[in-house]
Structures are given as C-alpha cells and as structure tokens.
Chains A and B, each alone.
Chain A
C-alpha cells in the first residue's frame, strides 16, 4: 500500500452547507436507505471505541419499544481531547441534525446531550441552538425533542453505560454487558449513544454520500476525523485529517523537530516511540500494515525534555482517581501500578518487578468490567516497554 501523506479535510466545520437542507433531504429517504448509507460509508464511532455507527443504529431501529432514546455523548474527558467542545461551540446544529437523523431512523422521540460538567459555559449558546432546532423539528414534522443533561465531572461517565446510569440518578458505574444500550439503555429502553463527532459525520455522509466518505481514509478506517493536537508542538489545536496517516507524517507536520514519543488516544491510548513512527498508522485494526492505533482524537507529542516516568505516573494518578472503584482489577490494579513504579523508582522493588506489573496490566485488560480499566494497560505497557530505562533510573 502506498504511503499516504497527511490530507487535511474540511467537513466538520465547513459553513458551505445548510444543515436544515441536509436533514430535509435525508428525511425523504427511507430509513433503510440511511442505515445502508452509514454502513457503506464505513463510519465508526469517533469517541475512540470505533463501533460501526450504521450497525448501532440498525440494532436500535430493529428493537420494538414504545420509547427509544438518542444520547449525544459530550462527556469529553479523555486527557488531551478537546474537539467536541469546539464542535459544540461552533457547529452544534450539525450535532443536533445527526441526532434528528438518528431519531428518524430508530424511532426515538427524545434525545439528550450529556454535557461534560466543565463545558457548562456552553449551556446558554446550546439552549439558543436548541430553540432553533426545535423549530426545525416542527417544520420538518419530526416528533423529536432534545434536552441537555449535565454530567458531574466523572471521567468514567464517558463510558456509555455509566453515562446512562448517571442519567438515571445512580452512581456513574458501568453496567454488565450484554445487554447493550441499543436494547436496554436509558430507563431500560433502546438507546443509541453516539459521540458528538460521530453525529456530525452522519450528517456529512448524508451530504457527500457514502462513496465519497469511503473514498477518504484507508480500508477499515474510512473517512476523516478530528484530532486534538497538544504537547510539545508549535501548532496545538484541532485539525480534521483523513484516517490512515502515519505518525511519521503527523510528527513532521506537528512536531517541534524533537519528538521522542506520541501518545495516541490520550491516557487510555498507546505511547509510540520515535523508532516506531514510520510503521504506525492512525486507524482501526486491520487493513493497515504495521501498527494501527485508534484514537478518540487525542494526540500528545512529547519531546526529549519529557520524563516518560512522569508522564506514566501522571496517567496512573488520573486512572486511580477516575476509576469508579467498582471492579477489583481497575480499583486496586491502578493503585498497584502507580505504587509499583514508585517503589521501583525508589529502589524498594527490583526492576524485575516491572514484569509483574506488566502482567498485572494484562490481567486488567482482560478482566476489568469496562473500557476504562481495560485500557490502562495500553499506556502502561507501551510506556514501560518502550522506555523501560526511564522507569528504573
């Protein structure tokens, strides 16, 4: 496969389209047609987990229920991610349009934007947008209403079942799966939970068609995506780029010339050292040679002045606090990993203890109840394996 250079895209924030017209056109299509388009487009969830959006909508559409819900997951909490804030600030009508589309396809008459507590400054603006949106709904004769629901600052509530629990007034803790939200979601009813960016892309696919969307990116990782670029970069910010780029191209574009590692996907993602930049692609597993790493958009660049021990310690601190505390591997495992690397650094434990900790992180990946605990191993193992000497000395 030929190497692809970075390709900037301008879909999400482009102003040269009328959201209302896209929606009006889409609502003329049969529901099955919209699902087919989404499936053909290859769109996968942009929150990070990468579940095929069309399949999710299809499942919820096929459920028989008197009530269904659409939830926009705007609990953007992954360290280093700040794209959803920008989307909601600048093009929230596109997000709402995506929700309306989902409502049309699944039969949901009620929707929520689960808004991260720290984004409460967006409320006045969003409420105004909602007024416009609800007027559209009346004009387009779609029985659908959206309201805001404020999160309370827990990272784990970005996990969809915790998010639902918290909306139901309970502790934000993940549920046992199955059943999945598409059959037993909010209040036990079929529920689609989509990331902010995913919803925008459903609208964009309606606009440009599945073919054109699929033409972007690479096999298995089609389309484009927003990246939140931060760390040691002169160009921190948000960029929409085609999927499938290599880290080498990425670092050439955004690095400060001294990048030693890129953390792809935030604290729950993977750390890639310089020697792997050229063989690492950004995209979902499969279809790409070498490593391919998914991301919810967080791209943190570290240059040679950074201690990877400190980076890892910071992540573990974060997980230790943000674990819901419910399941053993995550609650206790995070504490043991943090205390473990401290003990090694202080010389209280032998460097061989890193192997025990790696094994523990593997167990966490296999046995934690939700994505939070399962993904701690990603950053832990990738940092420890690639920067072992920094952990010890």
Chain B
C-alpha cells in the first residue's frame, strides 16, 4: 500500500513522513527530541501541557508538536528563540503550581518536570507560588496508591490511563480554571472510590503526584528486629525489570543478582514467588478440570469459562464492575497469597520458627498486591499472611540505599524450601503466561503427554494483542478423563482492563465461547505492572517479555507439576490439589463491591 508522503523542513533539514504523522514524530525521526509532558505513547493525544510547542513559518501561533499533523510544505523550527522563550515560560508556570520540594520527593531524579526545569534553567522565583495549604494534604487512604495534588501538573496522563487502558475512570478532572484539578469521584479518598489499585496511573505520572504507598521503612524495621524472621518472596516479573532501577537497560535478567542483593539487605529467607506460581498452576489446572467434569459429567450449574485470579487489580475490577459474575473467577489465591499462607504454616514449622515472629515480605511488580495483602480474608495462616508488600521500584531504592553495587554482585540462588521454580512459573510475569503454564500442566494431566507445541512454547497465547485466543484439542485422553475426549479446549487471554471488559461483556450476554480465560489487569501483564520501573512503553514491555521467555527457556524444569518442591509439598503437607488443606489455605472467596 502506498502511503501519501508529506514533505516538510525541520530545523533546516528536508524530510518526508507518511500522512498523519505528528510534528513530534516527524522531529523524532530527524533525531530531534521535542520535550513533552502530557504526551505518552500508550495514550491518546491531549495537547494540553503545551511544552512541545514549535514554530511553523507563516503560523500565527506556536502549535503543539504532539497534536499537530505534518502538512505539506511546512517549515518547522523546534528550537527557535521564540520556541525557547515560550517553553521556558510554560515550564515556569508549571513549576509555579507544583510543589518543588524535590529533596523529599520519591520521584526525584525520575521526574519529567524536574528534568525539563533543569534543562531549561527555570528560575523558581519568577512566578508566584500558587499552592494553597490544602494542596499539600496527601491522600494516603489507599493501601496501594498515594495521591499528592501539590505535585500534579494536570497533564491528565493518569486520567487517560484510567479511562482508556483500564476503563475504570477512578480519576477525572473536576472544576475549571484555577480550580481545575485531577481527582476522584466527589473528591473522595482513594480508598473509597472505584479504584482497582492497579497503579497504571503511577507508571504514567510524569511527577510524584501519584506514587505507590511505600513500606520501605517498615521492611527495614522488620529486618533490623532480631526477634523477627523476615521472609521475602519475589514475583516473576521483578527479575526482568529490577535492573532498570539499577543502571541496566530494559530486558536484562538479574535473577541471581537480585537474590544476592536480598541476602545483602538482611532478609532471613530469600524465597521465590515462582514456587507459589507453580503451586497455583497445580490448583488452578485441577480446578479447571474439576469444573469441566462437574459441568459435563455431573450436569452441575458451574460457571464456565473459568477465569484466572492471579491479578489483584483484575479481581477488584470484577468485584466492582461485574459482581454478578464472580462465580467465573477461580477460587485459587494468587501466588503471593498462597505463598503467604504457607510461609506462616508449613514453612514456619519446617524451619522451626513461631509464625508470629515471621514477617512475610513480598516484592511485586504491582501496587494492587499491597491492597490484596491487606484484604480481610487473607489470614488463613492464623496471622496476616503477607505483612508487607513492596514494588520493584521500592526494592531498587532499598538496594541503592544500602549502598550495594548491584552490577558487581555475584549471582546467588534462592534459599530452600519454597525457592525452587520452573519455567512455567516465570512466564506468569507476561500476559498469556498463566494460560501457557496451566495448559502445559492440564494437557499433560488429561492426556499423559506434553502439550503439542514446539518446545512447549504455546505461541498463540503469547504476544501483545489485547485479546488473544487459542484452542487445544484433547485427544487420546487418559481413561479417567474420557469425558474430555475430542473436546476442543478454547482459551482466551486479555491484558489491560479495557480488554478484560470486552471479554466480560461476552460472558454477561451469555455468549462466551471459551473454557478458560486469563486476565491481567495491566497492559502486557505483570511486566507492565503498576510497581515496575518508570518509564513504561510498548518497547520496554516487549523487552521485559522477551527476557521472561528467555528465562523460561533456560530453566531445566518447565512444567509446574514437575517442580520437585511442589511435589514434595503435596506429599508432605497438602495431600492433593483441591484437597482439604489446599482448600483451607490456598483458596479464597470474593466480595461484591459497589460500582460507585
């Protein structure tokens, strides 16, 4: 297909771009970085910060490069005196409504406004500080997300994230003019509004206005307490992103260094959420087969498709938005919570520590995990199963704070027990990974053979398309699964809650063709989670995903049911998947929530 090309001149260089290209993109193609704040690759164009203005010959005004398409014959200047002056004024204005206490800001050194203010040599004194006392009140009501209006520059990236990517609309703009601000429904505390705590807004906030609620100090305190035995687990997606906090390019796997760093930090047991991910697969695959049996053989009214339950942002979403369909969600706890319930029961007993002295910490790519850990029902061990959750970012901060030269660390291994994992567990970190891991196990349980995909890689469920589907035909099944003979197991994978609601709408109208659906709240799955290093964009997430699949390839064991520790756990403690102990410790119930 031949695209119409537009010819223009950017800073004296003749160039041509396909029709529809913005001036921002056209400049980028010429290796000119026009500064932006409200622009984000994942989101629609807003054109409201005006930092990206450029000069165009013959134009009365300076158009915003992000929102102006290249037009035939345009002569564009991205760094003319007029442009420099205008940008400097605009940045000065933004600084005047922004709390510039950078020294105590969590986003200092990763703040886009700070970077530009420094680049443009902004004089903080020129404009009058517009902040009012009440602007400095930080909303810390949520377990997961802190909102500091004094740092908001009203770029509305969070608003667009919540609306476009997540279809939640927890954040929106209220009032106009000088009073205009970004806030929640009726300006209510974050904990009282329909917010899934997914944290995607945090990932796209250019400043420190939205951050995760931090538990760094509590974790240090626990580590420093000689009475406490501090157990730490790290989620699959952390190991392919943590490096970005510590000087590596995106997509570098730092599993061994991360384990070493955690030991340096002083955690008593450095364990792996991946172990619990394998356990989740055992329970979830059997739950799926059990549901199918009860539906097909026993004729029970069991909701099919079954949907995954690993993503706490997704869980809160369905609780708010589709409370009548909670029966579709697997009763399996997420790997974090399975791990937590075991850490203070089986593991405590095994290492001979009183569970009340165990502090269970998890490092997650996620902000919603903070909320999940604090759900009332998550105390099946007799204690709060997970005490403290920190994000990949917080761990990066702790490692830097401890003065660890991360790049020079020697690789270390996770401790035993609950440190062993498989390739099936690590791919939990990418969208489609839970599905792939579950299929590797479920197929083998039913047929006694490995999934019929090249090298165990179930390509149709991989990738970044919003909703993907696949089908696996079950043939020559083992005798006890004869009711599944010839059944085509239909599955779907969705990531990002806008895509999730698309899948849900089919269920609502009773027209879902699937047996099993994996949903991850965040775009690209946990690798794009709300606790991951900032910035985020499709390219970075793709690199993290590639790292995840490489990690899988490198593992000796790549199927959850072959994890030796999981096998041992069932033999020693749980009995069998969906058994009584599992039921008590590893499964949960969901709560109907209001939509407003």
Given the interface pairs A325-B179, A331-B180, the reply to whether A363 lies near B86 with Cβ below 8 Å is: yes
Give the contacting residue for B180; candidates A176, A325, A360; CB below 8 A. A325
| Dominant secondary structure of chain B at its interface with chain A | loop
Residues in A with CB closer than 8 Å to B85 are 359, 363
| CB of A71 closer than 8 Å to a CB of B | no
| CB of A182 closer than 8 Å to a CB of B | no
| CB of A48 closer than 8 Å to a CB of B | no
What 11 new A-B contacts, CB under 8 Å, besides A156-B176, A328-B90? A323-B176, A326-B180, A329-B90, A332-B127, A334-B178, A336-B128, A336-B130, A360-B93, A363-B85, A367-B61, A369-B64
Residues in B with CB closer than 8 Å to A321 are 176-178
| Separation of A184 and B48 alpha carbons in the complex (Å) | 20
* Contact digits for B11-32, partner A, Cβ 8 Å, 1 yes 0 no: 0000000000000000000000
Name A341-370 residues within 8 Å CB distance of B: 343, 356, 359-360, 363, 365-369
Give the contacting residue for A332; candidates B53, B82, B96; CB below 8 A. B96
Give the contacting residue for A335; candidates B61, B62, B178; CB below 8 A. B178
Give the contacting residue for B93; candidates A320, A322, A326, A328; CB below 8 A. A328
Give the contacting residue for A339; candidates B64, B128, B153, B173; CB below 8 A. B128
Q: Which residue of B lies closest to A374 (CB)?
A: B61
* Contact digits for B394-436, partner A, Cβ 8 Å, 1 yes 0 no: 0000000000000000000000000000000000000000000
Q: List 25 A-B contacts (CB under 8 A).
A: A154-B176, A176-B64, A178-B68, A322-B176, A324-B176, A325-B173, A325-B178, A325-B179, A326-B173, A327-B49, A328-B48, A328-B49, A328-B90, A331-B177, A331-B178, A332-B93, A335-B130, A336-B128, A363-B85, A365-B61, A366-B53, A366-B82, A367-B86, A369-B48, A369-B64
Residues in B with CB closer than 8 Å to A336 are 93, 96, 127-128, 130
| Separation of A85 and B259 alpha carbons in the complex (Å) | 74
> Is the Cβ of A323 less than 8 Å from the Cβ of B47?
no
| Separation of A388 and B51 alpha carbons in the complex (Å) | 30
> Is the Cβ of A367 less than 8 Å from the Cβ of B48?
no
Residues in B with CB closer than 8 Å to A333 are 93
Given the interface pairs A325-B180, A343-B128, the reply to whether A171 lies near B173 with Cβ below 8 Å is: yes
Report the minimal beta-carbon distance from B89 to chain A, rounded to whole angstroms.
4
| CB of A273 closer than 8 Å to a CB of B | no
| CB of A340 closer than 8 Å to a CB of B | yes
Residues in B with CB closer than 8 Å to A359 are 85, 89
Name B28-52 residues within 8 Å CB distance of A: 45, 47-51
Interface residues of A (CB under 8 A from B): 154, 156, 171, 176, 178, 319-329, 331-336, 339-340, 343, 356, 359-360, 363, 365-369, 374
| CB of B67 closer than 8 Å to a CB of A | yes
Report the minimal beta-carbon distance from A367 to chain B, rounded to whole angstroms.
5
| Separation of A321 and B127 alpha carbons in the complex (Å) | 19
Residues in A with CB closer than 8 Å to B179 are 325
The count of chain B contact residues (Cβ–Cβ below 8 Å) is 36
Given the interface pairs A360-B89, A369-B64, the reply to whether A323 lies near B50 with Cβ below 8 Å is: no
Nearest 9 Cβ contacts at the A-B interface: A325-B180, A332-B93, A176-B67, A363-B89, A323-B177, A176-B47, A321-B177, A326-B48, A339-B128
| Separation of A334 and B45 alpha carbons in the complex (Å) | 24
| CB of B97 closer than 8 Å to a CB of A | yes
Report the minimal beta-carbon distance from B266 to chain A, rounded to whole angstroms.
45
Given the interface pairs A329-B90, A363-B89, the reply to whether A369 lies near B47 with Cβ below 8 Å is: yes
* Contact digits for B80-124, partner A, Cβ 8 Å, 1 yes 0 no: 001001100110011011000000000000000000000000000
> Is the Cβ of A367 less than 8 Å from the Cβ of B176?
no
> Is the Cβ of B154 less than 8 Å from the Cβ of A363?
no
| CB of B69 closer than 8 Å to a CB of A | yes
| Separation of A327 and B153 alpha carbons in the complex (Å) | 10
| Separation of A335 and B179 alpha carbons in the complex (Å) | 10
| CB of B573 closer than 8 Å to a CB of A | no
| CB of B297 closer than 8 Å to a CB of A | no
Given the interface pairs A365-B61, A369-B64, the reply to whether A323 lies near B178 with Cβ below 8 Å is: yes
Report the minimal beta-carbon distance from B181 to chain A, rounded to whole angstroms.
8
| CB of B126 closer than 8 Å to a CB of A | yes
Residues in A with CB closer than 8 Å to B156 are 326
Residues in A with CB closer than 8 Å to B173 are 171, 325-326
Residues in B with CB closer than 8 Å to A326 are 48, 154, 156, 173, 180
Residues in B with CB closer than 8 Å to A332 are 93-94, 96-97, 127, 130
> Is the Cβ of B50 less than 8 Å from the Cβ of A325?
no
Report the minimal beta-carbon distance from B585 to chain A, rounded to whole angstroms.
48
Give the contacting residue for A178; candidates B69, B94, B153; CB below 8 A. B69
| CB of B175 closer than 8 Å to a CB of A | yes
Residues in B with CB closer than 8 Å to A323 are 176-178, 180
> Is the Cβ of B178 less than 8 Å from the Cβ of A368?
no
Q: Which residue of B lies closest to A357 (CB)?
A: B127
Give the contacting residue for B90; candidates A176, A320, A365, A367; CB below 8 A. A367
Q: Which residue of B lies closest to A342 (CB)?
A: B128
Given the interface pairs A367-B53, A367-B62, the reply to whether A334 lies near B47 with Cβ below 8 Å is: no
Residues in B with CB closer than 8 Å to A360 are 89, 93
| Separation of A343 and B85 alpha carbons in the complex (Å) | 23
Report the minimal beta-carbon distance from B378 to chain A, rounded to whole angstroms.
39
Q: Which residue of A lies closest to B45 (CB)?
A: A176
Residues in B with CB closer than 8 Å to A369 are 47-48, 50, 64
> Is the Cβ of B180 less than 8 Å from the Cβ of A329?
no
Given the interface pairs A327-B48, A328-B50, the reply to whether A366 lies near B62 with Cβ below 8 Å is: yes
Residues in B with CB closer than 8 Å to A365 are 61
Report the minimal beta-carbon distance from A59 to chain B, rounded to whole angstroms.
16
> Is the Cβ of B50 less than 8 Å from the Cβ of A327?
yes
Report the minimal beta-carbon distance from B179 to chain A, rounded to whole angstroms.
7
| Separation of A91 and B180 alpha carbons in the complex (Å) | 38
